[in-house]
Structure formats: structure tokens, C-alpha cells
Amino acid sequence: MEAARLLKNLEKEDLRILMAIEIGMKRSDYVAIENVRFYSRYPMEETLYRLKKVHKYGLTIRNSAEYQISYKLNSIGYDVLALHALVEKNVISQLGPAIGKGKESDVYSCMDNEENIYALKIYRMGRTSFKNIKKYRSLIGNRSHLSWLYVNRLAAKKEYKALKKIYQLDLNIPKPIGYNRHIIVMEYLRGKELAYYKDINIPQYIFNEIIDQMKLVYQKVGLIHGDLGEWNVICDESGNILIIDWLQSVSADHPNAKMLLKRDIRNICSYFRKKYRIECNTKKILKEFLEE
């Protein structure tokens, strides 16, 4: 991964310049050199030298169209800052190979100092453009300055918080390990999405596990997954599962909560019914969720 490779060549002064640009980006798209100097509290000479260096490494985008030159971070620059922070905090020590690519994220394996292996998810919303603006609105509210930095940071925070909330229940949902900016680190299950399996040995057991766990999450911490389906359940050869991808989760008091809960249950039911001939009744399961 580009950012991890580049991180090795960067000095703390370079990182401080990147952070200065990051601060400036809260107020505007591009940050003028004078403001980079201000936020970094370096002399102008040092600021210029560092800006040149991080730009040469491909971590920034330069705008020289205006009367003064300004910079913004690109996604690699932002990755560098987040990875650096996670290493500093001893959350991770090393990045491994890519293990998945979602529409809005890249997922890698990683390792900590004790050689525990985790999954590291980097949010990439708006990678191409902010086409589906409605989706992001629920994250950013009515802010006018729509920065991808901010959107992805909020996304990571939201998923991390959901995982934290669920963690106390001790279920097959990734244990949250740490997060910074647009990256979260969590428990990893070496396997593949349920959807990729031609066949599984114990479909009834796995179906029950998913339903029972979702019921506990709903009843004990008041959360609904919101995007439940065969693509967001990881399964290994021994039948261990991990229910992932909690960005879309909503709380039970959300106006659409019932509808989303029903849709989650329906998705799982229809998959297991069609593929494994499991008998299940969405209405009946939904009722069980709402009772107890």
C-alpha cells in the first residue's frame, strides 16, 4: 500500500506539515501556504521545504491557479496521517496484504506488536465523486463545505462506535481494536463472504446464529444492522462467522427502524430459504424481535 511504503521515508516535520494542511482543510478546500505556515508554526523556509517534499512524494494536490499557491491533502496524504497515528498509539505495527475491497472502502490485514492479526478498513467514500449525496447527508448533516476528509472520518467513527456498543455482548461481530481518522482496526476472520460459498455444511446452525445475534443486538443495545445480507457475513471452513459492515446501522428509535429491521430479516431469510431450503418466516421472526 502506497501510504505505508511512503511513511517510512517521512520525518516528523513532514507529518507536521501534513497535519497543518489537514487543519486548514476544515475551513477551505485548499490551504494557502501562509496558513500552512501558521498552523505548523514553522518558519517560512521550513514550511516551503516541507511542502515541496510532501508534494514530491505525491501526498498533496497543489493549486497554483489563484494569486497565491495553496495545497490540499490527497487520499494518500490522509492515509499517511491515519496510519502514522495508529502506529504511534501501538494499535498496529505493520500492514499486510489487501483482503477486501468494498464500494466505499479498502480492507487490509495488519498486525500489532504481539503479532495479532486484525482487519484494517479504510473509508473511501466519494472515491470517484460524491454522486450519491443523500447517503452522505445523513453523516454530515447540513454542513455546506462537503469535505471527503470529514465524511470518511465520520463514517469510521460511526462504525467504530457501533462496534464498541455491541462488543459488550460478546457476539460474532468484529471486536473494535482502534481507530483514527478514516481508518478502523478490528477483529479479523480469515474466510470469505457467505455469498461466495457454493455450499456450507451447517446452514441451519449459521442461519440461527445470525438471527439470534441480531436479536440480541436489537434487544440489548437497540441497534439494527441496516445492510444485513450474504455479503456482510464472513464465514470460515469451520463454520465460524463474523457479521461485518456496521456503517449503515441505525438505532431502534430511528423513524425507519422497523422497516430496516424487517428488511434485514427478510434479506437473510430469503437467502437461506432459496439457497439452503431453510424454513423461515420473516413476520414471525420480526415479532420475536419486537416482543421479549
Ligand X SMILES: Nc1ncnc2c1ncn2[C@@H]1O[C@H](COP(=O)(O)OP(=O)(O)OP(=O)(O)O)[C@@H](O)[C@H]1O
Residues engaged in binding ligand X (CB under 6 A): 99-100, 102-105, 107, 119, 121, 174, 186-189, 193, 231-232, 234, 242, 244-245, 247
Determine the Cα angle at 213 with ends 212 and 215, to 5°: 65
Determine the Cα angle at 144 with ends 142 and 149, to 5°: 100
Q: Which CB sits closer to ligand X, 33 or 102?
A: 102
Closest Cα partner for 89 from 17, 175, 183, 1? Answer: 183
Query: Interaction with Mg ion in 44-103: which residues (CB under 5 A)?
Result: 102
CB of 286 to ligand X, least distance (A): 23
Structure-block grid coordinates of residue 38 = 501558521
CB of 47 to ligand X, least distance (A): 36
146 touches which of ligand X, Mg ion, none (CB within 5 to 8 A by kind)? none
CB of 232 to Mg ion, least distance (A): 5
22 touches which of ligand X, Mg ion, none (CB within 5 to 8 A by kind)? none
Binding mask 96-115 for Mg ion (x = CB under 5 A): ------x-------------
Q: Which CB sits closer to ligand X, 46 or 193?
A: 193
Binding footprint of Mg ion, residue count (CB under 5 A): 3
Known catalytic membership, residue 227: yes
**Locate cell 445492510: which residue?**
227
Q: Using CB under 5 A, which of the segments 140-148, 163-171, 175-183, 241-249 binds Mg ion?
A: 241-249
CB of 100 to Mg ion, least distance (A): 8
230 touches which of ligand X, Mg ion, none (CB within 5 to 8 A by kind)? none
Structure-block grid coordinates of residue 105 = 472502502
Q: Which CB sits closer to ligand X, 17 or 244?
A: 244
Q: Which CB sits closer to ligand X, 30 or 179?
A: 179
Q: Residue 236, Cα to own-chain centre: how many angstroms?
A: 22
Q: Which CB sits closer to ligand X, 102 or 239?
A: 102
Task: Please give the single-letter amino acid code of residue 101.
Answer: K
Residue of closest CB approach to Mg ion: 245
CB of 244 to ligand X, least distance (A): 4
CB of 245 to Mg ion, least distance (A): 4
Q: Which CB sits closer to ligand X, 37 or 124?
A: 124
245 binds Mg ion (CB under 5 A): yes
Alpha-carbon distance 128 to 134, whole Å?
Answer: 16
Active-site pick, 106, 227, 253, 264: 227
Residues noted as catalytic: 227
